[in-house]
Amino acid sequence: MFSFDYTEREILFALRTSTRKDSIAALEAVKCPGEPLMVETVERLIQKLSRMRDSEFEVADKQVPE
């Protein structure tokens, strides 16, 4: 089962997207020059979302990070 850490949840909330596809598209448009940690987090999140199915995203998006 997929889950998101606190930072990933905050990013997804800020995007205000409701689908996995829209979230990936929004993340791919994010530009973070000079912010290597943010770039790494966004890239990791895109990879995670790409491996998920839409049904997994719907469930995982509501999970509380452990």
pLDDT, tens digit only, all 66 positions of the chain = 677 888 888 888 888 888 999 999 999 998 777 888 888 999 999 999 999 999 888 887 665 555
pTM of the model: 0.80
The answer for residues whose C-beta is within 8 angstroms of residue 61's C-beta and 6 or more apart is 4, 12
Count of beta carbons in the 10 Å neighbourhood of residue 57:
21
3-state secondary structure of 18: coil
Tell me what pLDDT residue 25 has: 94
Residue boundaries of the structural domains of the chain: 6-60
